Amino acid sequence: MGSLFHSLIYQPLYNLLIFIYNVTGQDFGIAIIIITLLLRFLLIPIYKKQIESQKKLQELQPKIKALQSKTNGNKEEQAKQMMELYKENKTNPFSGCLPLAVQLVFLIAIYRVLINISSSNLAIDSTQLYTFIKNPGTVNQYFVSLVDLVKPNLILAVLAAVAQFFQTKMLMQTTQKPGEEKTSTFAKTSADEVAKPDISQIMNKQMLFLGPFLTFFIGIKFAAGLSLYWLTSTIFMLIQQIYLQKNSEQNKITKS
């Protein structure tokens, strides 16, 4: 598995980063931004599937709650009927995890690239380069001659965390049904039932703050190049979500 990761992800990213670095005036920050945008464009189809999957799951919530009430704590029967429900509606509850997993893989790869370059005194490992990639010798670690990308940077960490907060909040609003944001975090029940917490809403609220916190923590502990990568990626996703939301609203107006 390690050799596959190295050959299929790490080494191609290493070479692509150095290639972009060579053709963009040898600014490491600009190279990171460009490679991030390229990766985000490649992930657009997967991201769209994630949004569609989350919307389908949100639409199934009333049926899922009714099923949970019907099975009355029988976990085995509940799991069986849940799988049948997902199958009937052609929904995979785990499909939304794929974009996160892919993004994490690339984040780890870029982290390793940055760490390996910085730990070698910014010298490029010629054994990792393809024959057609020019070896610049050493890398200028500064972004626009100001930000040292191999050291933690508080400003980039804060910006990345703030962008992550707004991106997560917008994603939650995109997958909510109209009027849902006005409901309590507790599901409505009949008078003879005890109110039960809406697990999906509670988890969403936790992720709204947990995600930015983790982003900030990584930003102040590791190379600033990671924060720059994460900030660029998150801003791209924000713009993408705004576009998809406007496109969805226009389609509704056209159909009506």
DSSP 198-217: -HHHHHHHHHHHHHHHHHHH
Separation of alpha carbons 213 and 168, rounded Å: 12
Per-residue pLDDT tens listing for the chain (256 residues): 678 899 999 999 999 999 999 998 889 999 999 999 998 888 788 777 777 777 777 777 777 777 777 777 677 777 787 788 777 877 777 766 777 788 788 878 888 888 888 778 788 999 999 999 999 999 988 898 889 988 899 999 999 999 999 988 887 776 555 444 444 444 444 444 444 445 555 666 677 788 889 999 989 998 888 899 999 999 998 898 888 778 767 766 666 6
Give the residue numbers spanning the domain of 24: 2-255
Look at the chain and report how many structural domains it folds into. 1
Query: Which two three-digit tokens encode residue 82?
Result: 């849940």
Could you identify the residue written with the tokens 């893989």?
A: 105
- Distance between CA atoms of residues 241 and 75, nearest Å: 36
Q: What's the predicted TM-score (pTM) here?
A: 0.76
Q: Which of 82, 78, 61 is nearest to 70 (CA)?
A: 78
